[in-house]
Amino acid sequence: MSQQSSHLNLRGHVIKTLLAVQNGQSLTSVLSQHLSLVGERDRALFHELTLGTLRQWHALKAITLPLLTKPLNNETVESCLYLGLYQLLCTRIPAHAAISETVTATKQLGFEALSGVVNAILRRVSRETEEFGEALDQAHGLPSWLFKRLKKDWPEHLQVLSVELKLAAPLTLRVNERQVSREEYLDILDEEGIDAHPCEWSDVGIILDQSVHIPHLPGFEEGGFSVQDEHAQLCATLLPNLDDKIVIDACAAPGGKTAHILECYRPKKLYAVDHDTKRLSRVSENLERLALNQYAPVEILTADATVWSAPEQADCIILDAPCSAIGVVRRHPDIRLLRQSTDIQQTVELQKQILNHMWQQLKVGGSMLYITCSILKAENEHQMIDFFNTHTDAQEIKLNVNWGIEQIHGRQLLPQQGHGDGFYYCLIQKI
């Protein structure tokens, strides 16, 4: 790849990354490979163009269709066009630079003959940015299967939701209260000249108002904070007191919630389980950096939560289930292209299996917190209706909070501009 890619300009590298996602690879799996070919000072722009184009992908597609006299049938040229349009309509990059760099990349990638079409479309749009900008804003920008589902699940929120999902999410920290309070850390950031403000719902959360390189923030190496979405930080606030309790984090990797538990409590024993060994290694790394191992004996285990038998029954189980992740598409915009409607039923089935099996690992009187970062009712409210219908020993503990939308069971948080992602929480007690 490097030989073929060495002659590419920055847009060429972005297009290659977009192409990999179009071909089914996750952004995380290809990003570092492509970033390594981009010069240090171009990396921020590379990120912005790649993530931004993916966020607007379906909206860009919608406004491009009327401009084509016949279907393109060429994924590379499709990526070139959307990247060009994204620069013209969503960034301050001067039009002449956006067009010439993108057309050059189209040629570098071997599509000299089609570069004329790319050039013509981009020039036309650059002359009519206002009209095309409006059309882009009005396009819901969701794959049609997802649009239909969200329309069914959230008819009254649909319009706002589709706009919210196209925006970038804020960069949010969770301070490690074992080391520093939120107020102290806000002062430290202020002294360093870094703009930030406290989160609204999480009392350990901080939103950064400017882009930063995380490892360069004060206290990173010492474990003063983690990067975590505000709505994900609410998990620890919903749990009962876990001091001296047996706790299982059933889908723990990469350990965001495991670490938060240890920042708040001293369990008698904490099992952090996940079936993905590679992701699980990040749990140990995180606990080490945050210096949290001293607060409980922690056992980190590679195991399948649909069959794993806990060595002892738990007082509390945190089940942050594998899900469609539609609630976090702002941070992972490749999900828009990768997720298919047929995946949802399979995911719901897996969640059901994990729920059923982990329920057996819970003591009578114990509680389980079911979590997803999805906004689809099939994985959340409907999953819980089914669970309560099939488990007569389960009783919901209503969450006494003032955030989110109350559901028949549990509460749903939708992604919100400047705030957290889409999360669902339901607390269940075994009776």
Ligand X SMILES: C[S@@+](CC[C@H](N)C(=O)[O-])C[C@H]1O[C@@H](n2cnc3c(N)ncnc32)[C@H](O)[C@@H]1O
**Residues forming the site for ligand X (CB under 6 A):** 251-257, 273-276, 279, 304-306, 320, 322, 354, 373
- Minimum Å gap between C-beta 250 and ligand X is 7
Element (H, E) at 207: strand 205-208
- Minimum Å gap between C-beta 243 and ligand X is 21
d(CA 430, CA 303): 23
Residue 58 or 231: the one with the smaller Cβ distance to ligand X is: 231
d(CA 273, CA 250): 5
Catalytic site residue 251? no
Residue 132 or 424: the one with the smaller Cβ distance to ligand X is: 424
- Minimum Å gap between C-beta 241 and ligand X is 20
d(CA 356, CA 394): 11
**Of 80, 199, 323, 373, which residue is the catalytic one?**
373
- Minimum Å gap between C-beta 44 and ligand X is 26
| Neighbouring C-beta atoms of residue 289, cutoff 10 Å | 16
144-153 helix and 341-359 helix, angle to the nearest 10 degrees: 50
Tokens of 52: 């931004």
* Residue spans of beta strands (DSSP E) within 232-337: 246-249, 269-274, 298-302, 314-320
Residue 72 or 171: the one with the smaller Cβ distance to ligand X is: 171
Residue 31 or 273: the one with the smaller Cβ distance to ligand X is: 273
Residue 51 or 354: the one with the smaller Cβ distance to ligand X is: 354
- Minimum Å gap between C-beta 226 and ligand X is 9
Residue 76 or 383: the one with the smaller Cβ distance to ligand X is: 383
Contact status, residue 368 vs residue 319, Cβ threshold 8 Å: yes
The one-character DSSP state at 430 is E
427, β-bridge pairs: 369, 397
CA 237, chain centre distance (Å)? 21
What is the full DSSP assignment across 340-409?
-HHHHHHHHHHHHHHHHHHHTTEEEEEEEEEEES---GGGTHHHHHHHHHH-TTEEEE----SSSEE-SS
- Minimum Å gap between C-beta 299 and ligand X is 14
Active site residues: 373
